[in-house]
Amino acid sequence: MGKTEGRAPEIPVRFYRTSTGREPVVEWLRTLGKDERRCVGMDLMRVQFGWPIGMPLVRNLKDGLWELRSTLPSRPIARLILCFHDNTLVVLHGFIKKTQKLPTDDLALAKCRMKDVTG
């Protein structure tokens, strides 16, 4: 049996990039501590290599958006909002969740970025 036989293929991942070349999610990740970045990165890797994944790690937000839910060592919860485009996982937005409900501003920003990515 080959190495990849019986396993879902790896999904390429890229981060949202603005028209000026900025990568706001990467910039946000850099504000986190090393252990926090590692936690989010490991969770993103679980999605990349194990898709499809459901709760409690990934939640369908509908309309093509997905929420990656990472519990950090020093903060309660980090969220990445993702979409799929051209067989690639695109990380649209990242934030620290402070309330029970998903903040509407964060969701609106992710939807806007998804439209930018998907055309």
pLDDT in tens, 13-70: 999 999 999 999 999 999 999 999 999 999 999 999 999 999 999 999 999 999 999 9
Q: Is residue 83 part of a domain?
A: yes
Structural domain includes residue 7: no
Q: Does residue 59 sit within a domain?
A: yes
Residue 29 in any domain: the answer is: yes
Containing structural domain, residue 31: 13-118
Q: How many Cα atoms sit within 13 Å of 62 on the Cβ side?
A: 2
In a domain, 106, yes or no: yes
CATH code of the domain in which 45 resides: 3.30.2310.20
At 72-115, the pLDDT tens digits run: 987 678 999 999 999 999 999 999 998 888 899 999 999 999 99
- pTM > 0.75: yes or no: yes
Q: Are 117 and 99 in contact (CB under 8 A)?
A: no
* Euclidean distance between CA atoms 59 and 53, whole angstroms: 9
How far is the CA of 22 from the CAs of 15, 47, 82, 111, 115, in angstroms? 10, 24, 17, 18, 17
Structural domains in the chain (count):
1
Is the residue at 18 inside a domain?
yes
Q: CA nearest 80: which of 4, 18, 5, 16?
A: 16
